[in-house]
Structure 1
Amino acid sequence: MAQWDDYSTGTRIKLLRGKVTQQNLADLTGLSIGAIQKAEQDQRMSLRTLLKIADALGTDISVIHGQQAPHRMQSRDDRTALQRLSRAVHDTSAGFLPNDIEPPTLVELGDFTRRVWKLYWKGHYSEAAGIAAPFLAEAAARLREQPDGERAEAWEVLSDAYRIGAYCANLMGARDLAYSAIGHARGAAERAASPMRLALVDSGRSWIYLRDARLDDALVLAEKAALDIEPRFSRATADELTVYGSHINFAAVVASRAGNQVRAEDFLSQSHATGALMGGEHGCYGTLFGPVTATTQAVGINVALGETGKALKLAESIKDTSPLQHAARNRYAMDKALAQADAKMWDASLDTLERALVGAPEWARHQALPGVIVEKVGRASTARLRRISKLIGASPASGGFRTATRRTAL
């Protein structure tokens, strides 16, 4: 398989362009179609032309030159959204804001926060990342306009905006941007003196560690984030139980990935107890938790621990996942399909997988588990594998699943 730097500059532009026509790219850059054609024919182009093409494709000049490869499975929209998000994160943290920006009210920003989280939990990560960029600028502008002594809430909103940006970047494979954004989110949470948001940010950083294969660091931080906000259950509010439950549940996820069964089961027990006390799903601070969340997450945790039988038994007990967010339902489907594959229930696994891929193609683009599941199933159902391979974007005969799905499945 050819490496990115094996291609010519013109071929790299053509590959990055994807389904965008030459005329569309010309319109986006303000260049003539002749200039685009010459660039793709490897004729010499000026730095100005190169900069315009890179900007329109949402990528860096170094990617076009072959000095670094683009993130696999990313569309032009993905790259553009990440590029704009990166500018917003770095500009706002440095205090650079557009001169003509009019800061919304804190109430308006609160509504905007909920809107972006809704997109995120639907699995529309590229769209959420694109909206997070102007959201960051407006939150920073609101903070600048707030009177002294009245900035705590504005700092909270800014922390939320950075955290959303970090989550989108992490899922879309932009690890450096995720680290930067979550760092700024923590700084804003500290300025807000908000223990709840500090815990949310620390849990978010733990997730970035997990996807970066820093398992020991991830486990320490995940446990700390949960224990820092452990409530007194006799008088805890629904919000407090939601945040604590989601945090202790995530600690169980991290412990299971690290192979620490004792701690994973202990955290999982606390997660189930919290969910049972709540009695139903509740959402706040960009997260949702309750008994259904606790049980569906336990399926994936048991799969990671090698407890396939337990995972399948739990899956059989789950009758209704409608209370969950869209992305959480899809994630549960992947965990169930993986458990079925581990149990050599090939057809059932592929049925579960295919339903999820067809129902949530946008979400699936950023997940690694589909490729992992297909690798486990192997050639058990060739016709269906070909159909699912097309949905994933890899060939079962090429061994391309592992390469095309390098992102962690969490």
Structure 2
Amino acid sequence: MSSDAMSSELADNVRNHRRRAGFSQERLAEAARVSPALVRKVEQGGTPRVETLYALARALGVTTSALFATGAPEPVRDDGPNHLRLMEIRRALMPPVGLKEAVAAAGESPPSPAQVIRREIADAHALYQTDRYDSVAKRLPGITRAAETAVSAHDGDEERRRALDVRAQAFLLTGKYLTQVRQYDLAYYALSQAIRDAREAGHTLTAATGVVGLSWLLLRQDRFDECESLAGATADEMEPRVSTAAPGQIAVWGELSLRVASAAMRDNRPDTAREARRMASTAASALGVEHTDFGSHWTTFGPVTAEMKAVEDLSLIGDAHGVLRRSDDGVLSRKGMKAAGKPSSNNWDRHRLDVARAHVMLGSHHDAMHELNALRRTSPEWVRHQAMARYVMADVLHHRKRTLTKDMREMAAHLGITG
């Protein structure tokens, strides 16, 4: 199916649901808080942002998934840069497979001790947290190969379990990095392997952390119903007794609840999202502070993270005033975070993008640029991979009446926006 046919299918889906609802294009635009011209563009085969489809689905009273086209993808025209940059990671994750297991190359080093590989994983994760993606990409192939060699070298049950746990940690980091840079197929492979290794090793918490990562990947791919189902089933299976559970168990359960809420909200299932947010709030209250532990699991969760994700819901429904009202209040204020602790850098940066989008929606381009420039200073590589940052910057450029400032030109160039 051609891209034109795929756009036509999406247009038909929107038009059919609009007619079933008894809406004119103008009435749908009013209910969705978009312009009539945008509705006409979608129904004429234009390609809308996913945020536009959220708004249309909410107005029509259907799930967002019901509007998505299901045709063939557009041809890939230029994947050269990423294909070449990630070649070593691809080789480490997916070596050629023949009739026999691969034979170690002559002179290959003996397996590294588990603690050595763990230290290398921790070092690479620290680089990831500080936005040094190139350094992470260079380290991951060696870490992955060392973890693979460790598993292959150990036959004893206890030694193999330890090696599997280390390989699960290596795959978790690899999947997390690949999701961030939007290499979703490779990320799926790494995360699914991490979950399987952790299950075989008997480490449920690590496996559940892999599910948190895989749910994030499904969200990134707009697979909302699958994300909600996976995260919800896992949360139900490992729901802790809050009064006696270890902080790590509560944190991972809370993160899974956040994934359920995010998926349900994007799929226009507000009641499910509300209940999942309530569960996440219960977990956050039980912890009292942000809990971080990249030794036994890979998550940062607590009251600050839960509140940021609740504010994200306001951004999704277009409540710009609500976003700004809560974005620096209560637990998200400087005083609040001093008491509750800091969230992960990625979650905080995503929250500030929601703030930037709210400013753009209200026409406050100066304030939006203030947020984008702050992100460029603190997380320059991260922000380059964020579609929301490009949307915000594109809106600033579109509505700018005067000559662009130096900051605007530099930001547009940094995000790869032309025209």
TM-score by length of 1: 0.72
SS at match of 2:313: helix
Alpha-carbon deviation of 1:286? 2.1
CA deviation profile, 1:192-217 (whole Å, cap 9, x unmatched): 12222222222222222222222221
Judged with a 3 Å threshold, the aligned counterparts in structure 2 of structure 1 residues 343 and 262 are, in CA distance, closer, same or farther, namely: farther
Cα pair distance change 1:139/1:375, threshold 3 Å: same
Instruction: Tell me, in whole angstroms, the C-alpha distance in 1 between the residues paired with 2:414 and 2:85.
Output: 23
Q: Is the 8 A contact 1:163 1:185 kept in 2?
A: yes
Residue among 164, 169, 174 paired with 1:165:
174
User: Alpha-carbon deviations, 1:80-100, whole Å to 9, x = none?
Assistant: 551111111112988545551
- Cα distance in 2 for residues equivalent to 1:262 and 1:345: 32
2:229 counterpart SS class: helix
TM alignment of 1:299-310, pairs within 5 A: 299-310=311-322
Residue 115 of structure 1: CA displacement?
1.9
Partner of 1:319: 333
Q: Which position in structure 1 is the counterpart of 2:356?
A: 337
- Say which is worse superposed, 317-326 or 250-259, in terms of deviation: 317-326
Please report how far the alpha carbon of residue 79 of structure 1 lies from its aligned counterpart in structure 2 after TM superposition: 4.9
Counterpart amino acid of 1:327? N
Contact 1:299 1:315 in 2 (8 A): yes
Distance in 2 of aligned mates of 1:217 and 1:141: 33
1:82 maps to which of 79, 83, 86: 86
CA shift for structure 1 position 141: 1.5
Specify whether residues 263 and 129 from structure 1 end up closer, same or farther in structure 2 by C-alpha distance, changes over 3 A only: farther
2:117 to 96, 109, 112: 109
8 Å CA contact 1:114–1:286 kept in 2: the answer is: no
Distance 1:292 1:92 in 2: 45
Change (3 A) 1:371 1:315: same
Q: Choose from 91, 94, 101 the match for 2:95.
A: 91
Structure 2 equivalent of residue 38 of structure 1: none
Residue 290 in structure 1 maps to residue 309 in structure 2: no
> What is the identity, as a one-letter code, of the residue corresponding to 1:379?
H
User: Which residue matches 2:26?
Assistant: none
- Structure 2: 5+ residue stretches without partners: 1-74
User: Hey, what does 2:218 align to over in structure 1?
Assistant: 209
| Letter of the structure 1 residue corresponding to residue 187 of structure 2 | A
Give 1:28-177 correspondences, 5 Å limit: 68-71=76-79, 79-91=83-95, 95-96=101-102, 97-99=104-106, 100-150=108-158, 151-177=160-186
Q: Could you say if the C-alpha distance between residues 290 and 369 of structure 1 is closer, same or farther in structure 2, counting changes exceeding 3 Å?
A: same
Distance 1:105 1:148 in 2: 15
Aligned counterpart, 1:182: 191
Asked if the contact 1:203–1:225 (Cα under 8 Å) also holds between the matched residues in 2, the reply is: no
- The alignment's TM-score, normalised by the length of structure 2, stands at 0.71
Q: What secondary structure sits across from 1:283 in the alignment?
A: strand
Q: Aligned partners of 2:149 and 2:133: how far apart in 1?
A: 24
Residue in 1 aligned with 2:366? 347
Report the Cα offset of residue 140 of structure 1: 1.4
What is the alpha-carbon distance in structure 1 between the residues aligned to residue 79 and residue 204 of structure 2?
A: 35
Alpha-carbon distance between aligned partners in 2 of 1:227 and 1:272, rounded to the nearest angstrom:
16
Q: Does 1:389 align with 2:412?
A: yes
Quick check: 1:277 aligned with 2:296?
Answer: no
1:249 maps to a residue whose letter is L
Structure 1 residue 231 displacement after superposition? 0.9
Identity %: 22
CA contact 1:293–1:324 (8 Å) conserved in 2: yes
1:124, 1:362 within 8 Å by CA — same for their partners in 2? yes
Provide closer, same or farther for how the CA distance between residues 233 and 189 of structure 1 changes in structure 2, counting only shifts above 3 A.
same
Q: Deviations over 1:74-127 (max 9, x none)?
A: 5xxx65551111111112988545551332222222222222222222233332
- CA shift, 1:293, in A, is 1.6
Q: Note the alpha carbon deviations across 1:166-205, whole angstroms, 9 max, x for none.
A: 2222222322212222232232123212222222222222
**In 2: Cα distance, 1:342 partner to 1:258 partner:** 22
Native 8 Å contact 1:92 1:137 kept in 2: no
Quote the residue 2:63 is aligned against: none
Runs of 4+ deviating beyond 6 Å:
none
* 1:228 correspondence with 2:237: yes
Q: Which runs of 5+ in 1 are unaligned?
A: 1-66, 399-410
* Corresponding residue number in structure 2 for 1:405: none
Task: Report if the CA contact (8 A) 1:101-1:141 is conserved.
Answer: no
Q: How many residues align?
A: 326
Q: Counterpart of 1:253?
A: 262
How far residue 288 of structure 1 moved from its aligned partner, in angstroms, is 1.0
Equivalent position SS for 1:236: coil
Q: CA RMSD in A?
A: 2.5
